[in-house]
Structure 1
Amino acid sequence: MTTKRDTVMLVDGMALLFRGFFATAFRGNFMETSNGIPTNGVYQFMRYFLDATDKFSPTHVICCWDMGSKTFRTDLYEPYKANRSAPPEKLVPQFDLAKEVVEAFDIPNIGLENFEADDCMGTLARQYAEDHDVLILTGDQDILQLVDDGIRVAIMRKGIGNYEIFEQQTFVEQKGIRPEQIVDLKGLMGDTSDNYPGVRGIGEKTALKLIQDYESIDQVLEHMDKLPKGVQKKVQENMEMLHLSRQLAEIKCDVSVGCTLEDALWQYDKNAVEEKFAELEFGNLIKLVN
């Protein structure tokens, strides 16, 4: 009889909070406590979070966060993510508030200056996947490059309780390439949401075909003479940006973060959580905590 492996759930805190804020703000539902503290993002964050813990039944949970907009990627390429506007005023106080609610569940909040939450999740996922099953909860497709033996990704879709699960066995069927090829794909096509161009004039369709035909950017460059003249020209004219875009796309899995699984055990003091929910006037959420 095989024993069931533990499941470590890594939560992309920023992805859940932003998604929660905009989902409720869109409907004009700006919740505030009687003291005037905005809470709509944190409230929806918790709804997503509790739905996921209920659905995936993790044994351990860790929440990862970005630590500001300046990272080694902005050092490499100043316009990286520069297209994003500042967070709405009502969201700003909710960053710390969300972390406080996570702490009330006795879950570690992990983040590292100069790196993104993705890099923390990548590093922790690789560490834990040796002996445990890892599930990453996010809304961000960049994370798909981490799918591996023992590492699944749950991409949140519209609404609550809708997830698209990606795992190694079915990945090629879903995306047409292997997880590790996502980095090369993005090197070629760039990423408009992260604001780096890849090879100008090469879109997703062409980039996907190139990776399917030649496996990697290195192989594409090795077989330049076989490429259509138009593609050759675009690649040659954007060679520096091609390599830089690939570097920006790659999640670092060797940053200096760590967390003992003992600290991440999904086991909380119900009274502490109820107290925090009461303080934030989240009466409706208390019944979701068992």
Structure 2
Amino acid sequence: MIEEENQNKLLLVDGMALLFRAFFANSYGGSVRRTSEGVPVNAIYGFIKYFMDAVQRFGPTHVVCCWDMGSTTFRTAQYDGYKANRPSAPEDLVPQFDLIKEVMESFGVPNIGLVGYEADDCIGTLAKRHSNEAHVYVLSGDHDLLQLVDDRITVVIMKKGQGNYAEYTPQFLHEERQLTPQQVICVKGLMGDTSDNYPGVRGIGEKTAYKLIQEHGSVDGVLANLDSLSKTIRAKIEADLDMLHMSRELATIRCDVPVEIEFTNCGWEINRAQVMNKFEQLEFRSLMALIS
């Protein structure tokens, strides 16, 4: 699709994904950037560099930043093992959670989050709702978000090194993985997700999950053709049917959560004095050039 130059572009930022990436990229050998008062700011510093690089690259007319609001969500209610393997946030990162939201506010960017849901669900809901008003770019490092891709939603996955992105359109997703966006969910249902701590079907790994979905189209297609599968694969699926359905549900991003944002309130227009003031507070003089 050829985009018109004057078309609206909405950048949806996966806040936690950027903040955690920035924290670990900017804590070399345990050394953490701090203000003169000792406040850790390394994650915020890196976040701003990532964020401004993306703004320059994709030229959004509108920007929203989405956040997780605690570890308890409807998914943990469904499956108490969900993300139970996640370690606590590093001590030096914790005070940066609120500070980065203040920084985004200084940029005039709305911070969106909803208790009981993940940032992914807010991103999915806003992406689908506003894709009729703008071409949506979702900025993250989380491949779960690939299920949102369509002709009006591009999922931008950050790769190693600042400014290095994989831009997933339906065409690129199919070229790279031979999957449709909906099939991304089905693959996760079969193979599970070690980082989110749900198992899928025990004994079915990534390679087999891809093969099954590519051959049968969906989890439902696999289940409708159990007789054609090898005895081993069939036995594994039949033994874990409940967890297969649960894992597919856990992998599905909700696009109907009760989160609201006025599109006109998301316009990207920097108040330089406001941002400069916040940068001064955080002693980010070296970043001033990004907004001058």
The TM-score with structure 2 as length reference comes to 0.97
The CA distance in 1 between the partners of 2:148 and 2:234, in whole Å, is: 30
Give 3-state SS (helix, strand or coil) of 1:92's partner. Answer: coil
Partner of 2:196: 194
For 1:105, give the aligned amino acid.
F
The 2-side partners of 1:282 and 1:2 are apart by: 36
CA contact (8 A) 2:27 2:33 kept: no
Give per-residue Cα distances to partners, 1:202-250, cap 9 Å, x unaligned. 0010000000000011111011000010000000000010000000000
The answer for the alignment partner of 2:157 in structure 1 is 155
Equivalent in 41, 44, 63 of residue 43 of structure 2 = 41
Matched-pair contact (CA < 8 Å) for 2:67–2:111? yes
2:1 is aligned with 1:4: no
- Segments of 5+ residues of structure 2 without an aligned counterpart are none
CA contact (8 A) 1:129 1:149 kept: no
Please, which of 25, 28, 32 is the counterpart of residue 27 of structure 2? 25
Instruction: Give distance in 1, aligned partners of 2:192 and 2:172.
Output: 25
Are residues 198 and 26 of structure 1, via their aligned partners in 2, closer, same or farther at CA, if it must alter by over 3 Å? Answer: farther
- Give the 4+ runs in structure 1 shifted more than 6 A: none
Q: Cα distance 1:261–1:236, how it changes in 2: closer, same or farther (>3 A)?
A: same
Q: Which moved more, 1:170-179 or 1:155-164?
A: 170-179
Distance in 2 (alpha carbons) for counterparts of 1:93 and 1:224: 51
From 245, 250, 273, the counterpart of 1:271:
273
- CA shift for structure 1 position 170: 2.5
Q: 1:235 to 1:95 in 2, by over 3 A?
A: same
Contact 1:105 1:268 in 2 (8 A): yes
Checking the alignment, whether the CA contact within 8 Å between 1:29 and 1:40 is kept in structure 2 is: no
Match of 2:253 in 1: 251
Between the aligned partners of 1:288 and 1:244, the Cα distance in structure 2 is: 45
State whether structure 2 residue 96 is matched by structure 1 residue 99: no
Structure 2 equivalent of residue 135 of structure 1: 137
Q: Which of 74, 87, 90 matches 2:89?
A: 87
Question: Using the alignment, how far apart are the partners of 1:61 and 1:158 within structure 2?
Answer: 23
Match of 1:229 in 2: 231
Give ranges in structure 1 of 5+ residues lacking alignment: none
AA paired with 2:238?
Answer: Q
Give how far 1:121 is off. Answer: 0.2
What is the count of residue pairs matched by the alignment? 290
